[in-house]
Amino acid sequence: MDEGQKLTEWQYDCLIDIYNQLIRRNIRMITITIGQDQLVNRRSFFLANSKSHIVGRFMPSEYKFRGVTNMEEMGYVLQSYDEAEYPLHSGWYYTRFYFPKTFDTGGRLAHFASNLFQLFLDVRMEFGLAGSNLEIPMEYVAFTVENAFKLNGANGRCCEWLTMEQWREAIERSGYIESEIYMAIAK
């Protein structure tokens, strides 16, 4: 369940009713509740108010997903686009689909890891978002890559390969800066 922090106690109780009905039919409901940091507060509230039946079914343990925090992690994410085949065993990788000639001659998205991570830092600085605890949410890394591919690849501008200016445009179109500004204001 996404946005679990937005669910009310009543909504969780409705889900428990569904859960119980499924159990009576020998169907096991498995849920993964995903949400913002406020979800931890909801969990603590439920525990403090003897609502362990909610926590036990929908929030038995916590795991904090992190975004990209360094160049190595950026490389790992970008490498996934170079190595993930679709359809499986077809020889077609996401990077190859959008930039076939460059891919076939050794161009890999992972080679941009250092420069792209630095570009995220630079763009943050330009908007006054400096900070020592950088964490680029995966959502915005994925949006950035998607923008770069779709705008500049085989179905877009048909560029041979990506430039740093095109990466900048992809970051700007991802919504990352706006999100970070809102998050900074909220703190």
CA pair distance 92, 120, nearest whole angstrom = 28
Q: What does the pLDDT read at residue 33?
A: 87
d(CA 22, CA 8): 21
User: 39 pLDDT band (50/70/90 cuts)?
Assistant: confident
pLDDT of residue 132: 65
- Higher pLDDT: 134 or 75? It is 75
**Rounded distance between C-alpha atoms, residue 55 and residue 50, angstroms:** 10
136, 75, 79, 116: CA torsion to nearest 10 = 70
CA pair distance 98, 65, nearest whole angstrom: 29
Residue 130 in this model has a pLDDT that exceeds 90:
no
Q: How far apart are CA 30 and CA 18, in angstroms?
A: 12
Q: How far apart are CA 108 and CA 76, in angstroms?
A: 12
Query: Is the pTM value of this prediction over 0.85?
Result: no
Question: How confident is the model over 75-92, as a mean pLDDT?
Answer: 95
Distance CA(19)–CA(50), nearest Å, equals 19
The model's pLDDT over 16-33, given as tens digits with 9 standing for 90+, comes to: 999 999 999 999 999 888
Least confident of 20-24, 40-44, 91-95, 161-165: 40-44
Q: Tell me the mean pLDDT in the region 126-140.
A: 86
What pLDDT band is residue 153 in, cutting at 50, 70 and 90?
very high
Mean pLDDT of 123-132: 85
| 45-62: average pLDDT | 91
